[in-house]
C-alpha cells in the first residue's frame, strides 16, 4: 500500500501573466501572450485535469480592459475543456474597475476585489492586497474583519488563501519597496483558522516559506522571471524560467510542484502510464483512492464565486 492516497483536490496555480491589450511584446522584450499560450498547450498535452485554475494577480500589465478580454479568450476555452473553474485575484498592475467589469461583469468600482469560491468542498478565498497607484501591498482593516468572519466557519476540506503580495521575507533588497505591509495583522486573523495554504505571486520567481504557521507557496511568473543568479543587491528580469505550480491537496498536507515552461531531451527511459501501472501492480503497490468530491463541477462552469466582500453583492455572482 502506498503511504498516501490520491489527492482530494488538484489545482493549477498561475501568476503574473502581464498581458497587454494590443499587439507586440511586453516592454518590447517578451511575448507574454505567447508564453501563456505555450504553458496552456503543454498543460493540456500532459493530460492534467485540475478542478480550478487560480491566477494570483498582475493579469494585465497596465490594467487595460482589452488585456482582460484577451486573457479570458485564452484561458476560458482551456478551462472548459478541462472542466475547471477559473479563480482570478487582483495584482498591483491590475485595475479594479476594469477587473470587475471584464472578468465578473460587474459595475466598475474601486472597492477591493475579495471573493469566496467553493471548489468541491475546498474553500478558496481571494483577498485583494493592492493599493491603487502603488506597487506595495496592504490589507485594510475592513478586509481583515471580513476575512475573520469568513474564517469563523470551517470549510469541509479547509481553505486556501490566494493573494498577490506574499507574506514572506524579501530575499532581494529592492523588493522590500513592494512587499506586503503590516503582515502581523494578517497573521492575527489567520491564527487558529482552517487556512491550510497561502498561494501568491508578485515576485516573478518560485519560492516557499511559512507564515503564521501556514505554508506559503509563490508561483513564478508566466511572462518573465527574476534572475536569482545575481549578487544579492542586484535585480534583473529575464525571458526564461517561466513556470506554474501544480497544487495537490491531501487529507493531511498540500504539495506544491513547480513546472517550468518548455520540453527537454529525455534522459534515460521514458515510462508510459500503462507501464507505470503494470510495474506498480507487479510490485503489489496500491495507491488508495481519494475521498469522494463534494460536488461535480459542470464542464462549462468557469467563474462562480459564492459571494463578494460587499454585502450588496452577497449571493451567487453567476457564470460568465
pLDDT in tens, 129-155: 999 999 999 999 999 999 999 999 999
Can you tell me the distance from the alpha carbon of 224 to that of 235, in angstroms, rounded to the nearest whole number? 13
Percent of the chain's residues with pLDDT above 90: 87
Residue 124 pLDDT exceeds 80: yes
- Write down the pLDDT at residue 59: 98
Quick one: residue 278, left, alpha or beta (phi over 0 = left, psi -120 to 50 = alpha)?
Answer: alpha
- Compute CA distances 121 → 93, 175, 192, whole Å: 31, 35, 19
Question: Which cell is 257 given?
Answer: 510542484
E strands, 225-317, are 225-226, 237-238, 243-249, 254-260, 305-308
Inter-axis angle of helices 183-190 and 141-150, nearest 10: 20
**Mean pLDDT value across residues 72-77:** 97
Bridge partners of residue 123, in order along the sequence: 118, 159
Amino acid at each position: 500500500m502506498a503511504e498516501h492516497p490520491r489527492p482530494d483536490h488538484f489545482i493549477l496555480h498561475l501568476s503574473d501573466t502581464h498581458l497587454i491589450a494590443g499587439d507586440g511584446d511586453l516592454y518590447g522584450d517578451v511575448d507574454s501572450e505567447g508564453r501563456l499560450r505555450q504553458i496552456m498547450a503543454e498543460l493540456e498535452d500532459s493530460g492534467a485535469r485540475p478542478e480550478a485554475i487560480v491566477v494570483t494577480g498582475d493579469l494585465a500589465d497596465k490594467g487595460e480592459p482589452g488585456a482582460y478580454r484577451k486573457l479570458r479568450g485564452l484561458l476560458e476555452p482551456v478551462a472548459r475543456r478541462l472542466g475547471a473553474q477559473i479563480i482570478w485575484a487582483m495584482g498591483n498592475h491590475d485595475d479594479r474597475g476594469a477587473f470587475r467589469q471584464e472578468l465578473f461583469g460587474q459595475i466598475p468600482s474601486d472597492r477591493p476585489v475579495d471573493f469566496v469560491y467553493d471548489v468541491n468542498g475546498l474553500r478558496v478565498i481571494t483577498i485583494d492586497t493592492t493599493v491603487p497607484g502603488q506597487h506595495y501591498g496592504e490589507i485594510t482593516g475592513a478586509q481583515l474583519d471580513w476575512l475573520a468572519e469568513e474564517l469563523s466557519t470551517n470549510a469541509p476540506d479547509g481553505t486556501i488563501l490566494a493573494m498577490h503580495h506574499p507574506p514572506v521575507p524579501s530575499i532581494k533588497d529592492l523588493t522590500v519597496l513592494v512587499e506586503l505591509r503590516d503582515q502581523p495583522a494578517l497573521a492575527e486573523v489567520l491564527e487558529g483558522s482552517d487556512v491550510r495554504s497561502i498561494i501568491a505571486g508578485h515576485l516573478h520567481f518560485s519560492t516557499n516559506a511559512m507564515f503564521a504557521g501556514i505554508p506559503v507557496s509563490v508561483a513564478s511568473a508566466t511572462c518573465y522571471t527574476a534572475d536569482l543568479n545575481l549578487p544579492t543587491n542586484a535585480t534583473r528580469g529575464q525571458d526564461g524560467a517561466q513556470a506554474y505550480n501544480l497544487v495537490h491537496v491531501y487529507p493531511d498536507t498540500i504539495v506544491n510542484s513547480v513546472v517550468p515552461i518548455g520540453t527537454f531531451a529525455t534522459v534515460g527511459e521514458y515510462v508510459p502510464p500503462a507501464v507505470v501501472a503494470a510495474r506498480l501492480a507487479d510490485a503489489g503497490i496500491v495507491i488508495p483512492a481519494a475521498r469522494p468530491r463534494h460536488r461535480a463541477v459542470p464542464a462549462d462552469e468557469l467563474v462562480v464565486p459564492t459571494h463578494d466582500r460587499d454585502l450588496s453583492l452577497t449571493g451567487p455572482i453567476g457564470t460568465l
